[in-house]
Structure 1
Amino acid sequence: MTDYKKMYFQLAAKVADAMDILLKAQQEGEIEFMDGEPFPESKAVVIQDEGCDYD
């Protein structure tokens, strides 16, 4: 008989490992971005939805 409980916990452990890898990669990318040179040519663009009335 297949041990589904064991299979489930193995899968859950692998998913947790993958999440840890992705989180670490994201954090490293954010650190690298924050330590990088600022972009003087970057601009903020405001996009307003014409269907909404904010007044």
Structure 2
Amino acid sequence: MNYKEMYSILFNKMTDIIEEIQQIQRQTEEMYLESKDSGFVLLKSCKDSDHPRKQE
């Protein structure tokens, strides 16, 4: 068996698939941002002092 050729085929296909997924992600993010339903929500971070640790 030619492992170098097998690895090359696998690596190239995986790279193509990852690039396609990234492009789809960018496309859907743009669709979301352009939609009128895209409201941004700012979440407060939790501070340790706000949530005391449970006593053991």
User: Where in structure 1 are there 5+ consecutive unaligned residues?
Assistant: none
Deviations 1:27-54 (A, max 9, x none): 1011101111143xx5422022316xxx
**For residues 28-47 of structure 1, what are the structure 2 equivalents within 5 Å?**
28-37=27-36, 38-39=38-39, 43-47=41-45
**TM-score normalised according to structure 2 size:** 0.70
Pairs aligned (count) = 48
- Per residue, is there more helix in 1 or in 2? 2
What is the percent sequence identity of the aligned residues? 19
Q: Counterpart of 1:47 in 2: which secondary structure?
A: coil
Q: Runs of 4 or more off by more than 6 Å in structure 1? A: none
User: Where in structure 2 are there 5+ consecutive unaligned residues?
Assistant: 50-56
* CA RMSD in angstroms, aligned pairs only: 1.7
